[in-house]
Amino acid sequence: MDSVAIEVGQISFGTLDINPVEFAAVLQKYVHEGSKRHRLSKNDILVYFNIDADFKDKETGKVQNFAGKTVATTLNGLLGAGAKFMDAVFWLALPDSERPEPEEHPAPRAGQPQTFSTYNNHQDIARCMFFYFFYILTRARAPLQGSGGKAEPIPQFLVKVLGISKGESEVADYLASFSLENIDPSWAKHINLTGLSQESLNRFGLGVAGYRMAAPFKLQNPDGTNATKYKNAIDVAVSFATSEADWDFHPSTRKASLLTKYGNINQNLGNLILEVYKPETIAEMVKVKILFKVPDKNPSHTNYTRWSQDMKYTPTAKIF
């Protein structure tokens, strides 16, 4: 039997003995990259060469030779040649060796002076950029290109107070040739809010994204039969609703540790609402728009049953 054991020990089944630690080290970068929703690559960026014909705002001084063609090296020069603001900004931010090759502008050049669509009105850019910022804070997303009839109504504050006449698709199209969703929205948390107009600050004071499901606990006392049973969870929900707006709680920049601590916050709050409010009270909150709709019961999210008094939320990165 010993000889058989030796022989069997020498048989190769052709299987790989994978070290999980080493394998994870190899794949970690790919997993992280694949998990990203917001992914902007240099090949998404579109700028143009200076076409041979004359055109308004053509940059002739600060230029460089790129692949045998002349391209502007200033923001206004690139905008004047037909690029959009975000494309021009990112292109200029890249080192020369990383910049994607500019393209030939598709405008016909039969006559002079040459005219074509440009996106270089800085007043319009400013309005569009505030629109973008406003959407991140209040809707936790960027304006979408091609949203058409599916787009949500534009907030009246943007239209009536700030006089922004562009719709969501127009704003997205004016700012970039690519989807603004490709850009990590956490840039918004680094904007200095000190210079915002008083009107804008007042509007943001009405609320930012991420707190809608907690709002009932601030505006309506629980009146259901399980209100006493889930008092701890209610107190945690009240702490969400009454805390100052916080980047670490905001959906666009929410800390991963909150998932560990509370579970999926919106799903748990939805289940808690169904537990501690009477159906007629929930229906009334939908009617007066405290809630978008009656929450859907999701049995997979029961973290709220274990929320305790020491889990009340305290802001750690206040927005305002």
The pLDDT, as a whole number, for residue 6 is 82
- Residue 271: the pLDDT is 98
Please report the pLDDT score of residue 15 as a whole number.
83
Alpha helices in 35-179 (DSSP H): 75-80, 85-93, 122-139, 156, 168-175
User: Given this model, what pLDDT does residue 7 score?
Assistant: 84
* Domains of the chain by residue range: 42-98, 122-204, 212-311
Map residue 25 onto helix, strand or coil. helix
Are the C-beta atoms of 302 and 270 separated by less than 8 Å? no
Per-residue pLDDT tens over the stretch 185-228: 999 999 999 999 999 999 998 889 999 999 999 999 999 999 99
Q: Token match 């509370």: residue?
A: 262
Q: Confirm if 81 and 50 have CB atoms less than 8 A apart.
A: yes
What's the pLDDT at 35? 84
What pLDDT is recorded for position 280? 97
Ranges of residues in the chain whose predicted pLDDT is under 50:
none
Residue 208: is it exposed, middle or buried by C-beta count within 10 angstroms (0-12/13-18/19+)?
A: buried
Rounded to 5 degrees, what angle do the CA atoms 144, 151, 209 make? 75
What is the reported pTM?
0.87
* Average pLDDT of the residues of the chain: 93
